[in-house]
Amino acid sequence: MITLETIQEAHDRIRPYIHRTPVLTNQTINQRSGADIYFKPENFQKIGAFKARGGVNAVLQLTPDDLTNGVTTHSSGNHAQAIAYAARQVGTKAYIVMPRTAPQVKKEAVLGYGAEVIECEPTLEARETGVQEVMTRTGAVMVHPFDDDRVIAGQATAAKELIEDAGQDKPFDILMAPVGGGGLLSGTALATHYLSPTTIVIAGEPEGAADAIQSFQSGRVEKAPYINTIADGLLTTLSERTLGYIRQHVADILTVSDPEITAAMRLVWERMKIIIEPSCAVPLAVVLKHPDRFAGKKVGIILTGGNVDLGKLPFS
């Protein structure tokens, strides 16, 4: 059970290790969307993504016993760096199982935080087996990327800061986050529920990984009908835990196509001059697609991260 106090304690706990990212606005994007948008650029966060919040909050709550043998996780992306970063802060070892197809720049970033990288085949089975082997060999504790209340409470602090910094005089009508495994979305929805109860939360999901919208409707954790999207941070399905939070506190999930995601990403790069990854552009793509839902509204958007492979960009 995540209460307001859980989120406040998480924020106090992680504060020395994370940035309080600013709030950005952009006139052109407001004109184009008709909405009044406040962006929370977590691409400027430690490790380049909001995942530092949840990773640090979880690792800081491990017992000295837990920490003796280090921490482990499997991830091709930002959670890998988050756990490597968090482990370094508490002086323990991190073992990160990464698919051998993960971009070299991400492997290097993980190595740069002093973690050990264990390569595996790029399947969920191989990744889970890899983590099991690490746990057997080293005794390391696993930190799941989203199915963990400590992680979710950490992610909730991004929305908490956005509400504190830009939602006081006039509350947000809508707060938005993308949805993959649902850790950030759960945290965002919980923080909003406690701190800005008149605000509704709407999630964005890629059409090419549209599992959350189905699970949201059916009430059961479902798989996506197919997986094919540029938004490579949002491929995971929900867990029972995150589905529960989302069904309770999220108003709607809307999907967008890859061309819509790429166009929103390009708009942010060109007009805001900041680097965001494709997954991060999903909520703005939703806003641009649905002026009927968002025009005239005060909207907060968590920009989740900026870790892209510059050698493989979707622009031409």
Per CB under 8 A, residues contacting its own copies are 22, 41, 43-44, 48, 105, 266, 269-270, 273-276, 306, 310-311, 313, 315-316
Are the CB atoms for 177 and 201 separated by under 8 Å? yes
Structure-token match 């009044």, residue found: 36
Q: Can you name the residues that pair with 24 across neighbouring β-strands?
A: 39
Judged by CB, which is closer to its own copies: 105, or 111? 105
Rounded CA separation 94/37 (Å): 38
Helix (H, G, I), strand (E, B) or coil at 199: coil
Shortest CB 109 distance to its own copies, Å: 9
Judged by CB, which is closer to its own copies: 31, or 136? 31
Shortest CB 230 distance to its own copies, Å: 15
Shortest CB 115 distance to its own copies, Å: 16
190's enclosing H/E stretch is helix 183-195
Shortest CB 47 distance to its own copies, Å: 11
Shortest CB 175 distance to its own copies, Å: 22
For 37, the token pair is 């948008």
Residue type, 256: V
Shortest CB 48 distance to its own copies, Å: 6
Number of Cα atoms under 13 Å in the Cβ half of residue 90: 27
List the 174-178 sheet strands across, edge first: 36-41, 298-303, 174-178, 200-206, 252-256
Rounded CA separation 60/46 (Å): 16
Judged by CB, which is closer to its own copies: 198, or 315? 315
Judged by CB, which is closer to its own copies: 56, or 143? 56
Are the CB atoms for 164 and 135 separated by under 8 Å? no
Judged by CB, which is closer to its own copies: 27, or 136? 27
Rounded CA separation 84/169 (Å): 38
Shortest CB 232 distance to its own copies, Å: 17
240-249 and 183-195 helices, crossing angle to 10°: 40
1, burial (CB in 10 Å: exposed 0-12, middle 13-18, buried 19+): exposed
